[in-house]
Amino acid sequence: MCFAPSRPKRDVVILGLTGAIGAGKSVAARMFLYEGAAVFDADAAVRGLIGSGGVAVAAVETAFPGCGEDGPGGRGIDRAALARRVFGDGEATDRLENILHPLVHEAEAGFLCRAAARRARLAVLEVPLLFETGGDRRCDAVAVVWAPAFVRARRVLKRPGMTPKLFAAIRARQMPADDKLRRADFVIPAGIGRAVTLRRVRRIVRMLDGCRGLRWPPRPLPRR
């Protein structure tokens, strides 16, 4: 883990929160929020970017014609139509991610600025593709939410519009769950009851309290 004992003036500690689809990341994130952490939801940021009046709508609609729709706040993206165009097509997925990921990173940086201004002790970045996009390098530590494969599948296939084919395509873009566990600083079980999950979240919060983050604010590169 990349944080140090606290000093009189400490920076916010950044905890990456990730896991396989259906693992229970959102539940764990709400628990961190309840425990006083500032929480950034990358999926919510994406929904805002491509929702009605979102700043990424024009670029996404240009890249994927026919996926746009009119909304109460302006033009937006039909997420179901976009999913049908993208998932299962690696080139199309890469094109979409090249549009969205830089904007999500900007939103994340703004969130961290606000968290630091409020003197938050812990900032949690809930990012499904944290390892896949190298986002773990921006974190002081990473917690991986884990649930058995059959539990994850049951949860995901209950979602509106989800199909086994789409589920398989999403999993194919993610790092295997076992690899994420091997890279984790903390593991949060989320398949055997919420009380167990909450106890682990509280333990992580206690462990990080009093630590000094080393990732925010970003340090300038040393001069040569």
Tell me: the pLDDT tens digits for 147-163? 999 999 999 999 988 88
38-43: average pLDDT = 98
- Listed residue (54, 60, 17, 59) closest to 38, CA to CA: 17
Cα separation, 125 vs 39, in Å, equals 6
Please tell me the predicted confidence (pLDDT) of residue 165: 86
Q: Delimit the domains of the chain by residue range.
A: 9-45+107-212
CATH topology for the 9-45+107-212 domain: Rossmann fold (3.40.50)
Residue 9 pLDDT level (bands cut at 50, 70, 90): very low
Cα separation, 21 vs 216, in Å, equals 28
Cα separation, 183 vs 140, in Å, equals 13
Please tell me the predicted confidence (pLDDT) of residue 95: 96
**Is the predicted pLDDT of residue 110 greater than 70, yes or no?**
yes
170-176: average pLDDT = 89
Both ends of the chain: CA-CA distance in Å? Answer: 28
Please tell me the predicted confidence (pLDDT) of residue 91: 93
This prediction's pTM: 0.89
* 13 in Cβ contact with 123 (< 8 Å): yes
Cα separation, 67 vs 150, in Å, equals 33
- Listed residue (191, 166, 163) closest to 177, CA to CA: 191
Cα separation, 103 vs 60, in Å, equals 12
173-177: average pLDDT = 91
Please tell me the predicted confidence (pLDDT) of residue 221: 53
Neighbouring-strand partners of residue 122: 13
